[in-house]
Amino acid sequence: MHLFATLLMTLAAPEGAGGGLLSYQDTVRCSGLTQAASELEGGESARGRQLFDAALYWSLASGQAAAAAGRLAATADADQTRERIAAVRDLSEHLNGAEAALEVCLRRTPDLG
């Protein structure tokens, strides 16, 4: 229940000084980046556990954002998979500012402690 409440508050709360909701595309990008980083890191380290938790959070956030946008679940799943595959490449090859984007996603991830 705590995770669900945190998810709803994060999606509905203003983001930083700029305010505004996170877009569906932003949640999908963070989902893909955190899933890819978690896969690449593994779960044995503290960083790996942080990435795993963030990947879980952003996957759920993407599902909620998809539902709010009226997207089909299958389409949302395909979007996340496509983004994860691209993120594995981008993180592995240091492309498209993936590391910086990942850090932004991690800062946006609430403490699920």
- In sequence order, the 6+-apart residues with CB closer than 8 A to the CB of 102 are 33, 34, 37, 87, 91
Hey, what are 13's tokens?
């709360």
CA distance linking residue 83 with residue 55, whole number of Å: 12
In contact, 55 and 34? CB cutoff 8 Å: yes
> Using one digit for the tens of pLDDT, what is the confidence trace for 28-78?
999 999 999 999 999 889 999 999 999 999 999 999 999 999 999 999 999
Mean pLDDT across the chain? 86
Q: Which two tokens stand for residue 87?
A: 């993120």
User: Which positions ≥6 away from 78 have C-beta within 8 Å?
Assistant: none
Please state the domain extents for the chain: 23-108
pLDDT at 70: 95
Given a cut of 50, whether residue 79 has pLDDT beyond it is yes
Lowest mean pLDDT among 14-18, 68-72, 94-98: 14-18
pTM of the entire predicted model: 0.82
